[in-house]
């Protein structure tokens, strides 16, 4: 009888550890979803950090101002750049660009195709939630087959037309 009672107590103790273990795993999964997945699923609060204006003669958007600390500044967009496409969608209206940015998920990687002085560039950046939520990605690169990797100095390379980021301090 005592042996059966002892085995029963051991089984109950093991059962308690299993319940505790499963409870901890569920808590970790819920916290992971809340902390890491939920923020990436937010829409309608996207921020790219540019002010654009409509060109009066054509239906292109021109970057009027790049805000400091923005994802656009991090990839090297400048005032005067013409925005041609956003994630493969041709953009010709300010409201359309706003809707595309607002319809993107926070921290979603987006590709912006621009025209700077007749040379087309592609800029890969991430949509930010606010000015403090910026993810740095590589600088904008030209749409040219076989172009070399970015150089360690700042400026536009005369060989490959790659816009180069500022050196980190």
pLDDT reported for residue 27: 93
Taking only the tens place, the pLDDT of each residue in 22-44 is: 888 999 988 887 777 666 665 65
Report the distance separating Cα 17 and Cα 21, nearest Å.
6
The CA dihedral of 65, 67, 71, 74, to the nearest 10 degrees, is: 90
Q: Are 83 and 16 in contact (CB under 8 A)?
A: no
Q: Is the confidence at residue 164, as pLDDT, over 80?
A: no
Backbone CA torsion sign across 14, 17, 23, 24: negative
pLDDT reported for residue 82: 92
pLDDT reported for residue 131: 63
Does residue 93 or residue 17 have the better pLDDT?
A: 93
Taking only the tens place, the pLDDT of each residue in 133-163 is: 455 555 555 555 555 554 444 444 444 444 5
DSSP 8-state secondary structure symbol assigned to residue 147: P
pLDDT reported for residue 39: 61
> What 3-state DSSP class applies to 48?
coil
| pTM of the full structure | 0.55
Instruction: Count CB neighbours of 125 within 10 A.
Output: 27
Taking only the tens place, the pLDDT of each residue in 72-118 is: 888 889 999 999 999 889 998 888 888 888 888 888 888 898 998 88
pLDDT reported for residue 44: 56
Residue 100 corresponds to which tokens in the numbers above? 């595309």
């Amino acid at each position: 009888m005592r042996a059966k009672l002892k085995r029963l107590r051991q089984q109950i103790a093991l059962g308690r550890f299993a319940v505790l273990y499963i409870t901890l795993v569920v808590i970790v999964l819920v916290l992971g979803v809340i902390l890491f997945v939920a923020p990436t699923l937010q829409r309608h609060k996207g921020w790219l950090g540019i002010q654009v204006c409509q060109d009066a003669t054509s239906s292109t958007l021109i970057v009027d101002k790049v805000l400091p600390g923005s994802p656009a500044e991090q990839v090297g967009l400048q005032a005067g750049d013409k925005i041609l496409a956003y994630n493969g969608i041709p953009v010709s209206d300010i409201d359309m660009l706003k809707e595309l940015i607002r319809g993107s998920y926070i921290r979603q990687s987006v590709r912006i195709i621009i025209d700077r002085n007749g040379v087309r560039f592609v800029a890969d950046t991430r949509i930010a939630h606010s000015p403090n939520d910026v993810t740095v990605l590589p600088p904008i690169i030209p749409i040219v087959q076989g172009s070399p990797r970015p150089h360690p100095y700042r400026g536009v390379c005369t060989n490959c037309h790659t816009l180069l980021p500022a050196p980190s301090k």
